[in-house]
Amino acid sequence: MADAAHAVLTAPAAGTTGRCHIDEEVLRAAGVTGFDVYRADPASTEPLRRDIFL
């Protein structure tokens, strides 16, 4: 979440103002392709699931 917030806060305001941002979409737009570093349990092999609280 902090990485996505950083990407939004350091982006030009014209592209972010008045928008609802979803962490994964912000990070993908910033070029992030690997999301395994965001796992709560690094040893887990389960597929990542989306949070239902959007």
At 53, the pLDDT band (50, 70, 90 cuts) reads low
* Residue with more model confidence, 25 or 48: 25
Average pLDDT value for residue range 22-43: 90
Strand segments (E) across 1-54:
none
**Rounded distance, CA 23 to CA 2, Å?**
9
Give 54's pLDDT tier (boundaries 50, 70, 90): low
Indicate whether 48 pLDDT > 90. Answer: no
Share of the chain above pLDDT 70, in %: 94
